[in-house]
Amino acid sequence: DAGVTQSPTHLIKTRGQHVTLRCSPISGHKSVSWYQQVLGQGPQFIFQYYEKEERGRGNFPDRFSARQFPNYSSELNVNALLLGDSALYLCASSFVLQAGGQGANVLTFGAGSRLTVL
């Protein structure tokens, strides 16, 4: 069974450009989350989608946007790239919406898309 797949694996952009990152969740998973991992830091939450609706958003500027498609795959878009956007972008999927509390559903992460902004 395929895990969470992300594309592209690596990409280089210049400041001011736009980037689109793609994620395919595990079959049957309806929730997709996006995290940003800057070098040397832990992942930071960007977005969560469930059943094609945004269900959560972290502390990121409006340059960051995302969507989820009817087949539950997802795209993360970043406009007007800055040097500080250089990071590993991780997608994670789960069967249900992460409601918090005990017995939390486990997130399964993809290998990530490494973005370098020059």
Partner 1 sequence: GNSVTQMEGPVTLSEEAFLTINCTYTATGYPSLFWYVQYPGEGLQLLLKATKADDKGSNKGFEATYRKETTSFHLEKGSVQVSDSAVYFCALHGGSQGNLIFGKGTKLSVKP
Contact, 19 vs 11, CB < 8 A? Answer: yes
Residue with smaller CB distance to partner 1, 16 or 21: 21
- Minimal distance, residue 66 CB to partner 1, in Å: 13
Residues 6+ away with beta carbon under 8 Å from 41: none
Q: What is the β-pairing status of strands 113-117 and 53-57?
A: unpaired
Binding site for partner 1 (CB under 8 A): 4, 6, 33, 35, 40-45, 48, 55-58, 88, 90, 92, 97-104, 106-112
CA distance 48 to 57: 6
Residue with smaller CB distance to partner 1, 7 or 14: 7
Residue with smaller CB distance to partner 1, 6 or 15: 6
